A = this chain, B = another copy of it.
Amino acid sequence: MLAFRDLKWSSSEKKAARKAFESAYARECRAIASKLKEMMRDDSDPRTIWHIHDYLSEQRRDTDLKYDYRYSVLIEVFGQLLNEGWLTEAELNGLGPDKIAKIKHLADFFAGRA
């Protein structure tokens, strides 16, 4: 079995992967924006904006690390995103069945189910 990092991606798979990646990223950013709006509701404390800043600093560090679009690591990235719910299985359509199986296996593994 090829190592994840050695899999070949066809041009149609690359297109589908990019689309799924961007969808997941937009979805996670929207969730951060929602949390941000919720935090802003507590405007009694002037320092709330700095709590928001701390929160965004943390999220930015985390998402910068997580959303790594290199084909050598993309199977693992998608496995993590699927496990965390930022990506749906339906969004993997367009990838080859071998890749989908690996991604689902990793998602299960990250969830402690495999």
Contacts and interface: CB of A to CB of B under 8 A. Distances in A.
Number of copies: 2
Contacts of A36: 40, 49, 52
B46 A30 contact: yes
The interface residues of chain A, by DSSP majority, are classed as helix
Nearest to A64: B50
Contacts of A25: 46
Interface size class of A (residues with CB under 8 A): 20 to 34
Interface stretch (A53-61, A68-76, A77-85, A104-112): A53-61
Contacts of A52: 36, 56
Contacts of A49: 29, 32-33, 36, 56, 59
A7 interface: no
A29 B56 contact: no
Interface in A31-47: 32-33, 36-37, 40, 43, 46-47
Contacts of A53: 53, 56-57, 60
B56 A60 contact: no
